[in-house]
Amino acid sequence: MEEIIKRAYLESLDGRRFGDKKEEVEKIREKILSAKKIVVATNNQKKFNIIKDIISKICNATITMIDIDTRFADLTRVPALNKGLMALDTETADLVIARGRLGVPGSGSMLVILDGKGRILTASLSPSSIVHRENIEDRIKKEIIEALSRIGINLEKY
């Protein structure tokens, strides 16, 4: 992963970067599918179960939820991302999956998958619940499926 990131940085600096490459997306997909330990940054059992059920279909990892209250992330500018960073600061994992508010109250939500260094591998966004009017379980399921499909992981194969 580091070599791919370094190459992309150098391409950008030289003005030679013109979009994502197949091997970059493949590396992200490989990182997710080969994870051995995944931490979900929530202490909400319902949310955890939805994410665990889907992720366990694509990889053979130990999937746990964080053992601290993540509500404090709501006091930050990007709560979803900060939940993931809280998990990384308190747990050792190959991947962290976090879901929470995107930004200011009313901005909708984001589900984000981070690697063990806190780098965003993929994510998905949802509109405010006032707009989509779905129950939280259905919405989270859609978000995790969308985040995975953005990097070519199609759950129909699994």
pTM: 0.95
CA separation for the pair 135, 130 (Å, rounded): 11
Residue 56 in this model has a pLDDT that exceeds 90: yes
Q: Which fold has domain 34-157?
A: Rossmann fold (3.40.50)
The pLDDT value recorded for residue 156 is: 80
Q: What is the pLDDT of residues 118-144, one digit of tens each?
A: 999 999 999 998 999 999 999 999 999
pLDDT surpassing 80 at residue 158: no
Residue 98: phi and psi, rounded to 5, are -130, 150
Distances (CA, A) of 67 to 42, 75, 83, 158: 8, 19, 12, 29
> What are 88-97's pLDDT values in tens digits?
999 999 999 9
What is the C-alpha separation between 144 and 20, in angstroms, rounded? Answer: 21
